[in-house]
Amino acid sequence: MGSYLILRITKLKLKGERIVIRPLKRNDIDKRLAWQEYPDPLYAHYNLKDITQAQKREWYKKRKKDPKMLYLAIDDLKGELLGFLNLYDIDWENKKARLGIYLGYEYTGKGHGTESIKNFLPYYFERMKFRELGLDVASFNLRAIRCYLKCGFKLAGTKFNKHDPRSKIDIFGDEKYKDIRKYFKKEGNEILVQFEEMRMTDEIWYKNRTLL
């Protein structure tokens, strides 16, 4: 990774109409801990509580020091922390990475996710000059899929991953989950869940950027 790029990323500030994307700070973890919890157990793995000072330091260090990761915070214009957007599995040589994003529960469904990604993509393709951005998203997560489609990502196939054990749900027994049961399967003692693979390339970006 060139030192020019490191410097740019350290100073990164991407401003949209309602959001600002900036590098992670140490106290972001405390702001995250103050978010409302996701009430839906399917999203329970985004809830974080009761962590020690040492775990907070570790949380920050892990995200800041990993050369294959670029972890950014999303604020509103008043400096309220709305969420995080990150690149992981960064392949600096082949100019590829994967995208992750999550917002505090109270900030979802208001367009912030779409606005954040739309503001990040020009930076990714035009400043970082990366060539491909991939992500995976649980097939039942229709809100996220819709958000990614609006940002120009294309569906690129499906795969099964282990279901996050932090979401303690009775997917095959509880009638509440009858509509999304089709995305789950049992393999031995394990529950697997279907994910959509989505991707965007620089070619797609340059072709569609004025339409987004």
Q: At 61, is the secondary structure helix, strand, or coil?
A: helix
In the numeric block, the tokens 């949380």 are attached to: 59
Please, what is the minimum distance in Å from the beta carbon of residue 23 to ligand COA?
19
CA distance 164 to 41: 11
Shortest reach from residue 19's CB to ligand COA, in Å: 10
Distant-in-sequence, close-in-space partners of 32: CB < 8 Å, separation ≥ 6: 48, 81, 84, 104
Strand partners, 10: none
* 119/171 with CB nearer ligand COA: 119
Q: What does the binding site for ligand COA look like in residue numbers (CB under 6 A)?
A: 43, 46, 83, 101-103, 108-114, 137, 141-144, 146-147
**10 is written with which tokens?**
């350290």
CB closer to ligand COA, 42 vs 128: 42
CB-wise, 114 or 167, nearer to ligand COA? Answer: 114
Rounded Cα–Cα distance for residues 68 and 74 (Å)? 20
Nearer to ligand COA, 121 or 137 (CB): 137
Name the packing angle between helices 112-122 and 142-150 (round to 10°).
40
Residue among 107 and 205 whose Cβ is closer to ligand COA: 107
Report in angstroms how near the CB of residue 191 gets to ligand COA at its nearest.
18
